[in-house]
Amino acid sequence: MNRLDLEKIIKERKNEDFIDLKKVEFEKGSDLSNLDLHRIDFTDALGENIDFSNSNLSESIFTGSRFEYVNFDSANLRKAVLKSCDMRYANFHNADCRGTHFECTIMECSNHEGIIIDDETKNYKMHCPETGAFLGYKKCFNDLLVTLLIPADARRVCSTTRPCRCDKAKVINITSMDYKEHYTEAWSLCASGDFKYTLGEYVFPDSFNPDRWMESTHGIHFWMTPEEAKAY
């Protein structure tokens, strides 16, 4: 689909019902800027290097869509749903995301300068506390549950998904999943498998990437609840 196809569909809109564009594939590099695209269902749609700049996308749905290098510069995304999307290299510069629902959307290498959010914007702010000390949890080899104290001076980040990262933590408990057995050490489930958690000691990653939108990168990975860690 290209701009002309989309303009024809918009012109034929007769009411405020959603326009169904599920699983549509847009031509690479399509210019869809400055269009009224409100209340369109882009579920599972595909597109690369699509320009939505200055367009009205309010209340539109992008669940499961894949739009790499998408340009939302100054677009109206108010109350839109961006859930489980792949939007690597997206440009949200000056985008109006008040009331927008972000959840589990991949936004690695994305630009968020000037983005507009409010208290109704969901899953954009970090899941972990931005200041102060708190507890985190992670699952290790042999189904061991490690409880971590993330200190107040630790750097911490997370994106729109649930896992978080920090640059240091103290191991305060290591147990079996049913909490009946206690241990003094546990080994990470990371690819190398050589990262050890020792009871009572601080752990530090080999390095820490402060970019919150980069998920599979350096840092101590953890979850905010034991249930999430156990389910990993």
120 and 151 together in one domain: no
Q: Kindly state the average pLDDT of the residues 128-152.
A: 97
Strands (E), 79-224: 81-83, 101-103, 134-140, 144-150, 156-158, 164-166, 169-176, 185-187, 196-198, 202-203, 220-222
- CATH number of the CATH domain containing 107: 2.160.20.80
Total tally of structural domains belonging to the chain: 2
How far is 34 from 38, CA to CA, in rounded Å? 12
Q: Kindly state the average pLDDT of the residues 203-208.
A: 94
- Residues contacting residue 128 through CB under 8 Å, at least 6 positions apart: 134, 136, 150, 156, 158, 164, 224
* 75-111 confidence digits (pLDDT tens): 999 999 999 999 999 999 999 999 999 999 999 999 9
Domain that holds residue 148: 134-231
Q: What is the model's pLDDT at position 14?
A: 84
88 and 27 together in one domain: yes
Q: Kindly state the average pLDDT of the residues 156-175.
A: 96
21 and 113 together in one domain: yes
β-bridge mates for residue 169, sequence order: 203
Tell me which DSSP letter residue 111 carries.
B
Query: Both tokens of residue 91?
Result: 């440009």
Domain boundary among 125, 154, 180: 125
Ranges of H-type helices in 45-139: none
Domain boundary among 56, 91, 125: 125
Cα angle 121-127-131, degrees, rounded to a multiple of 5: 110
Domain boundary among 76, 103, 125: 125
Q: Where residue 215 falls among pLDDT bands split at 50, 70, 90?
A: confident
116 and 143 together in one domain: no
Residue type at 47? G
| Residues 124 and 97: beta-carbon distance below 8 Å | yes
Instruction: Express the helix, strand and coil content of the chain in percent, nearest 5 each.
Output: 10, 30, 60
pTM of model > 0.75: yes
The DSSP H or E segment spanning 8 is helix 3-11
Burial class (CB in 10 A: 0-12, 13-18, 19+), 152: exposed
How far is 177 from 42, CA to CA, in rounded Å? 40
% residues pLDDT > 70 (the chain):
99
